Structure 1
Amino acid sequence: MFIELLGSNPNFYFMCVLIVIFSVCCHEYMHARAALWQGDSTAADLGHLTLNPLKQMGAFPIIMLLIIGITWGQVPVNPSRMKHRYSDALVSFAGPFANLMLFLVFSIATAVVLVKYPQTVHLTSSSAFGALLLFYHAAMLNILLFIFNMLPIPILDGYNVFSFMFPGVHNINQELKNGMIAILFILVLFTFDKLQNLCYLITQFAVDIFRNVLGFIA
């Protein structure tokens, strides 16, 4: 269980917790901002144009994060108040898009540290090494959040985006939707490690590209 890291590696535990809370809050903030842009002020009226985790996530999701490493946000939107037929999909995509942008920012930050302090990987007690770990894992966790949230499964953002692209999805009955949600939980339980490994590979690939580009420029 995730909380076991608190005993074995407390620094890594708190680093992951802070990264996830910050990333989820950015994700939810972008939902609220995009909804307001598209004419729905529901989230804004309820105070969700903030990075406050108690507002964007709530106490229970934060507790779940601390214990089992799984959490979620809770920004309310009202598609009926939005301007365009694509607005709901746009608002849904805004959250994962925030995570994608954070992935790129933290990947570049990781590359900058590696280029500026190439000896960092051998100096595990240095502040630069601490920054390297923070940026690298922040990049990995954000691409993980992006990929996971874009899965076309009900309750995830990807479902609304997928539904806009393929309107026939709206005709799926509730039993099938419940089955898709069950698939989500099975995915989390049995394949999450593989998804995490994939995200590490993607992160390393991105960091290597940015590192080579920065090295060439320098």
Structure 2
Amino acid sequence: MTTAATRRSDRRVSPVFLGIVAVTAVAGWAAWTGFAEQPGVAVFLFVTAAWIVSLCLHEYAHARTALHSGDVSVGAKGYLTLNPLRYTHALLSIVLPVAFLIMGGIGLPGGAVFIERGRIPGRWRHSLVSAAGPLTNVLFAVVCTAPFWLGGPDAVPGDFRYALAFLALLQVSAAILNFLPVPGLDGYGVLEPWLSPRVKRQVEPYAPFGLLFVFALLWVPSLNAAFFDAVHAVLRGLGVSGFDAAYGWQLYRFW
């Protein structure tokens, strides 16, 4: 019923997103076949484009879940087209995560799309809307690591394998960060419907600074090491070695 309330044009996949997918496919083919003279260039383009695709899917998951939970306004806002230019916080959702990827090789979570929460009844629905985004990162990580835990590390050519390993690291780190119960992140959004009004009022002023707070903590060497230990533990469980992910990061920084 909620899907029918949106126009077909509101759900048509954006040419911008299709263009990003095309870049991902071409760069992935170049990394797979060794077509590029500098393999790092192909890896850089593939990982960056695939990371943007995952960011779009992350925000789409929030919007699509909100649509089926009662917020039909997401269609008119363009969130269902997967167009990164239509997000409320394009800077937080796309630009900053890509910038931090290039600078530090970390999957920084983006800002959420604007959901009209008053249209959504029930606490479970609110929690699911918030959880849908990072769960998409989890699914993306599983897909990226499928060659490792299905066919072994030799199932795909070297450069493409390293690119997949690094991309999986980004997805796992984004999922972990997003699920932190910090105001402004999706993990807090999962918990917020179950908090008392008094607690929510006290926490609300800090929500805009939650992401900056987490980023600042990651500059603390001991916390940074503990965080990446957790990320690599998950990757090992998915069959990805620390060497594959580290070498993928080195190829990515071809400059």
Distance 1:83 1:162, change over 3 A: closer
Partner SS, residue 80 of structure 2: coil
Q: Offset at 1:43?
A: 2.0
Q: Offset at 1:83?
A: 2.8
Q: Aligned equivalents of 1:176 and 1:63: distance in 2? A: 22
Distance 1:192 1:29, change over 3 A: farther
Q: Aligned equivalents of 2:43 and 2:224: distance in 1? A: 19
Q: Offset at 1:131?
A: 2.6
Give me the identity figure in percent. Answer: 25
Structure 2 partner of 1:195: 227
Q: Give the root-mean-square deviation of aligned CA atoms.
A: 3.1
Give the TM-score, by structure 1 length: 0.72
CA contact (8 A) 2:180 2:187 kept: yes
Q: Aligned equivalents of 2:178 and 2:92: distance in 1? A: 20
Matched, 1:104 2:142: yes
Partner SS, residue 153 of structure 1: coil
Alignment partner for residue 170 of structure 1, among 170, 188, 200? 200
Distance 1:68 1:181, change over 3 A: closer
Matched, 1:17 2:48: yes
1:66-77 mapped onto 2 (5 Å cutoff): 66-69=98-101, 72-77=110-115
Structure 1 partner of 2:68: 37
1:12-50 deviation line (CA, Å, top 9, x unaligned)? 443432232121111101001000010102222211113
Q: Offset at 1:170?
A: 1.7
Alignment partner for residue 52 of structure 1, among 83, 95, 111? 83
Structure 1 partner of 2:163: 134
Q: Offset at 1:179?
A: 7.6
Alignment partner for residue 89 of structure 1, among 107, 114, 127? 127
Matched, 1:158 2:212: no
Q: Offset at 1:198?
A: 2.5
CA contact (8 A) 1:97 1:146 kept: yes
Partner SS, residue 236 of structure 2: helix
Q: Offset at 1:175?
A: 5.7
Q: Offset at 1:52?
A: 2.7
Q: Offset at 1:141?
A: 1.1
